[in-house]
Amino acid sequence: MTPSDKEGKITFPLRRVTEGNVSFFIPDTPEVETDFVKTPVFYNPQMKLNRDISVVAVQVFQEEKQRPIRFCEPLTGCGVRGIRIALEVQEIQDVYLNDKNVSAYKLTAENIRVNKLQEKVKVSTEDANFFLDKHASSGDRFDVIDIDPFGTPVAILDSAVRALKKKESLLCVTATDMAPLCGVYPEACFRKYGGYPLKTKYCHEIAVRLLSGCIIRIAARFSIGTKVRFVHSTDHYIRVYVEADHGDTKADASLEKLGFLLHCFSCGHRELVKGITTLFVHLCPKCSSSLSVGGPLFVSQLFDKSFCIGMKVEAEKRQLGEKKRRMMRLLNRIIEEADGPPLYYDIHSLCDELSIQVPKIEHVMSYLEKDGYKVTRTHFKPTAVRTNAGIEDLKDILLSLHQ
């Protein structure tokens, strides 16, 4: 089947699929399952969970603010995320979708038509920055902007921030370039995100903090304060949800949540230090080895617990198909770790270092709690815990469990 729009026919084969409440067309090519980057129109079936979470998060945001929502996706691909938002989120005023790929524009227009959303959903084919710049004037901005690129989002973050409404808006950002963010290519990370990564066992949390810190600094340049509401690290990508609010004072307060990571690669000691003009202690307080410095990055709480609980309540009410069980596990784990200490420890990695068998994580947590430490699991890694215990105390407990 080959649908068409007023500007010409789609020249590649299509097939119809369903996601959430939406039935839509995608390219019917082998690359959709094997190498979706090479498809005529970008569509990633592996990101369904990402889109499910977006729907739930936008609904919770709308209910918090109690106003109709103007939603924008400047890199829309086949349009499925924006169309799902239009159909599955209450009080959506209008949805603006854009993709500079003409084939994506045509396919999105057809998907809008088959879902009978022509009055609510608009589609254009322009450069993403140009599209967002056109909506940067007062009265034409968006309540929610969702950026889900292949690779880094940094090229359009400036434009996205300026296209957000001044009062309590939401910026949702995905990054899939995990190698730079996790310290494999530190120079590339510094060039893109303005922060230096460290290649540690908890690198995915560092990645989230680097992306969040980048958004905070960009927003502050435009006198916009930001608050991180929700993050998750899933499969091959990270995702952050940041609420924005205009004002010099709010921007200054956001910048106060930036700082640096200090890590000792000799003994594993790690800590977050608040402040971008911090005078560092260059020697590890535990073993006197040289400390490595990462950042600047976001050093405050990664999760707004009330927002996370609201997402869980909303998700429980929805029919989300085969990904719902995974989504509920993710949200439950995030709620558990929301108040936990930063910079998790990978228990398996520590046991490898100590050349001992890996105990059950429940036993490790029980010992930590008996010794008076705070401890939680983390969604970042199933073999890791968050705790305010020092690494030597944690190693002692692991050795005790081994005996």
Domain boundaries, given as residue ranges, for the chain: 4-298, 305-402
Q: Are strands 384-387 and 144-147 parallel, antiparallel or unpaired?
A: unpaired
Judge whether 152 and 173 are in contact, CB under 8 Å: no
Q: How far apart are CA 252 and CA 260, in angstroms?
A: 17
* Residues facing residue 365 across a β-bridge: none
Per-residue confidence (pLDDT) for residue 8, from 0 to 100 = 66
Angle at 87 between CA 136 and CA 44, to 5 degrees: 80
Residue type at position 279: L
Beta bridge partners of residue 98, listed in sequence order:
124
Question: What mean pLDDT is predicted for residues 120-134?
Answer: 98
pLDDT in tens, 328-338: 999 999 999 99
Quick one: tokens of 231?
């993050």
Give percent above pLDDT 90 in the chain: 88
Which of 19-33, 38-52, 255-269, 275-289 is the most confident on average?
Answer: 255-269
CATH 3.40.50.1980 correct for 305-402: no
Angle between helices 48-65 and 324-337 (to 10 degrees): 60
pLDDT confidence of residue 76: 97
Report how far residue 21's alpha carbon sits from residue 58's, in angstroms, rounded to the nearest whole number: 16
Contact 20, 321 (CB under 8 A): yes
pLDDT at 323: 82
β-pair partners for 145: 72, 171
Looking at domain 4-298, its CATH class is alpha beta
Of 113-127, 170-184, 275-289, 351-365, which range is least confident?
Answer: 275-289
At residue 28, what is the residue type?
A: D
Q: How many CB atoms lie within 10 A of CB 86?
A: 21
Q: Return the pLDDT at 281.
A: 75
Q: What is the pLDDT of residue 6?
A: 44
In the chain, the percentage of residues whose pLDDT exceeds 70 is 96
Provide the 10 A C-beta neighbour count for residue 96. Answer: 22
User: Which residues face 298 on adjacent strands?
Assistant: 258
Give the pLDDT band (50/70/90) at residue 31.
low
How do residues 347-394 score in pLDDT, each as one tens digit?
A: 999 999 999 999 999 999 999 999 999 999 999 999 999 999 999 999
| Residue 88 pLDDT exceeds 80 | yes
Alpha helices in 24-69 (DSSP H): 31-34, 48-65
Q: Do domains 4-298 and 305-402 have the same CATH topology?
A: no
d(CA 236, CA 351): 25
Residue 169 predicted with pLDDT over 90 = yes
Cα torsion through 269, 271, 277, 280, rounded to 10: -20
Q: Provide mean pLDDT across the span 242-257.
A: 98
More confident residue, 10 or 8: 10
Mean of the per-residue pLDDT values of the chain: 94
- The answer, yes or no, to whether residue 5 has pLDDT greater than 50, is no
Helix axes 203-221, 248-255, angle to 10 degrees: 150
Beta strands in 11-101 (DSSP E): 14-19, 22-27, 69-73, 92-98
Sign of CA dihedral 282, 288, 293, 299: negative
Distance of alpha carbon 89 from alpha carbon 55, whole angstroms: 7
Q: Convert the pLDDT of each residue in 35-68 to its tens digit.
A: 666 778 988 888 999 999 999 999 999 999 999 9
Of the pLDDT bands very low, low, confident and very high (cuts 50, 70, 90), residue 22 is very high
Which residues have C-beta within 8 Å of that of residue 59, sequence separation ≥ 6?
A: 88, 89, 90, 314
Distance separating alpha carbons of residues 345 and 365, to the nearest angstrom: 12
Give tens-digit pLDDT for 173-212.
Answer: 999 999 999 999 999 999 999 999 999 999 999 999 999 9
Q: What is the CB neighbour count within 10 angstroms for residue 329? A: 11
